[in-house]
Amino acid sequence: MKIVAVGRNYAEHARELGNEVPDEPVLFMKPESALVTGGAPFPYPAFSSDAHFEIEVVLRICRRASNLASGESAGVYDAMTVGIDFTARDVQSKLKAKGLPWEMAKAFDGSAILGEWVEVPAKGPIEFSLTKNGETVQQGTTADMLHGFDSLLHHVTRYFTLEPGDLVFTGTPAGVGPVVRGDLLEGFLEGEKLLTCEVR
């Protein structure tokens, strides 16, 4: 199982971090050891003092897909949820300044928090949000994605064959921010709470 994640897929998020809005999806990977499920806590990394939450819609791949043509993503994923792509922002800033890859800041153990799976809504934009200690800190809608699900899967499968059980984190809206030990994060999809995670 692999996790494919998409960076800078919401223009306002790209701008809040001082990044250019990309023409193509920015892809990176997380290993299976990054995954945290079942309401388990997020283990704050010892090597960082500035870990940030990023709430995202996550797709669960259900069939093998390679080199998908545009418009051929139907049936490639069978469920979705919300997930948190944790980023060691201080580590990432140092890596970016040197032009180095982001893995140490993005793919560390415990950096991918996953909520409960639900059926894919029949149509329309999908609303999602994140609260920290009961206060809403991120709100998003898939209508604001620079690259929608079909476009993302078309792009991803040009480079990586997707297999059943793989996950695609589809990008975060504006509002990302830091956590400290003891914070409680809760993620919502279409108003339904699917994710609960304590920072430890």
Q: Where along the chain do its domains lie?
A: 3-198
Identity at 163, one-letter amino acid code:
E
Backbone angles phi and psi of 127, in degrees to 5: -95, 140
Q: What is the mean pLDDT of residues 130-141?
A: 98
Q: Say if residues 158 and 67 touch (Cβ distance below 8 Å).
A: yes
CATH code of the domain made up of 3-198: 3.90.850.10
pLDDT value at position 147? 94
57: confidence class by pLDDT, cuts 50, 70, 90: very high
Global confidence as pTM: 0.95
193 by Cβ neighbours in 10 Å (0-12 / 13-18 / 19+) ranks as: middle
pLDDT digits (tens, 9 = 90+) for 4-33: 999 889 877 657 666 676 788 999 999 999
- Of 146 and 16, the structure prediction assigns the larger pLDDT to 146
Query: In the structure encoding, which two tokens stand for residue 189, read together?
Result: 């999809």
Span 113-120, mean pLDDT? 97
**pLDDT given for residue 22 in this prediction:** 75
Q: Beta strand 112-114 with 35-36: parallel, antiparallel or unpaired?
A: parallel
Angstrom distance (rounded) from CA 38 to CA 149: 25
Beta-strand (E) ranges in the chain? 3-7, 26-30, 35-36, 51-53, 55-61, 77-85, 87-88, 112-114, 127-132, 135-141, 167-169, 177-178, 184-189, 192-198
Average predicted confidence (pLDDT) for the chain = 94
pLDDT the model gives residue 19 = 65
Mean pLDDT of 163-180: 97
